[in-house]
Amino acid sequence: MEIKKIRLGNLLLPSNVLMAPLAGYTCFPFRMLAYEQGAGLCFTEMVSANALKYDDRATKRLLITSEEEKIKAVQLLGGNPAVMGQMAESELLKCFDIIDINMGCPVPNVFKSGEGSGLMLDLKRAEAVIRSCKKSGKLITVKFRTGIEEENMFAAEFARMCEAAGADMITVHGRSRSMMYDGKPHMEEIAHAKAAVSIPVIANGGIFSAEDAKRMMERTGADGVMIARYGLANPFIFSELTGKECKKTALQILTEQMKLTLQYYDETYTLVYMKKLASYMMKKKKGTKKYKESLHRSGSMTQLQQVIKMIFDENDFM
């Protein structure tokens, strides 16, 4: 695929290979890993505007960042235009350059509350949310799906609404809400969205290899791709696609992630996060099932380090 920079307002994204916001994973340490590997943009985990409004401690932890993260992007979830706008302009998000509005989460409780993909049922309210967030003066991006039901998709119409409301970029997940996270993405719907607007369009969904990414770009004409779960299983996908040199082993990656996470989070959080990340990264490796129980039973950082070393030896470049 063609690797290029993407202009967003006064920002120039270094590559058109993006890392998706993933709940439980795209914390500050993982975002730094993805950037190091060549990702052009990474987002925080999904952050609830309502939870921020009520000063929820766990939600505020999702906003952890530092000056090392040169481009900062937060993904905000909410269906109330006034609350979304209020939080977009709040001190809590002051350091973020980009606000990505989640209009694609298919989870039932989110959908039923009129948030996430629930906003696709109400274009006027979705438009009001974008316009309200735009008042913050920040760059606004929107991530949405091809539609609600597979039989009735309207990605192009929704894309036009986003652009008219002031969105600076959109990401289209090639599945409808009813498809959840399964099934082949409808690349033609992403292509329709791309043809309907002049702002950058990022293609997302069903990318589990470099070949998938290239095919997605060719079939959709999108300006870039967004990697999701595969970025956890193989963080090297960013350097593979962008050509950025990386000589680190999987063990070195995990060791560095552990150290960085401990700098910004407590040991309990670090244990949970590292177990999840190591589980994803060992999926591709043969003979690792026998270590899975030991990995999840690790009760201290020392035990976890020992298990990770058993799974990933020094010469493992994945």
Enumerate the active-site residues.
105
Written as six digits, the tokens of 135 are 């008042």
- Determine the 3-state secondary structure of 16 from DSSP: coil
Q: Which residues neighbour 279 within 8 Å (Cβ) at sequence distance 6 or greater?
A: 292, 295, 296
Q: Which residues neighbour 216 within 8 Å (Cβ) at sequence distance 6 or greater?
A: 185, 187, 190, 203, 206, 207, 222, 225
Measured N-to-C along each axis, helices 301-311 and 250-264 cross at an angle, to the nearest 10 degrees, of 160
Tell which residue, 41, 17, 7, has the closest CA to residue 203.
Answer: 17
21 beta partners: none
171 beta partners: 143, 202
DSSP code string of 199-258:
S-EEEESS--SHHHHHHHHHHH--SEEEE-HHHHH-TTHHHHHH-------HHHHHHHHH
Cα–Cα distance for residue pair 220/215, rounded to 1 Å: 8
Cα–Cα distance for residue pair 10/187, rounded to 1 Å: 30
Written as six digits, the tokens of 188 are 């033609």
* Residue showing tokens 């309502």: 50
* Sign of the dihedral through C-alpha 9, 12, 15, 18: negative
Written as six digits, the tokens of 318 are 């994945």
CB 134 within 8 A of CB 166: yes
Cα–Cα distance for residue pair 216/259, rounded to 1 Å: 35
Cα–Cα distance for residue pair 32/59, rounded to 1 Å: 20
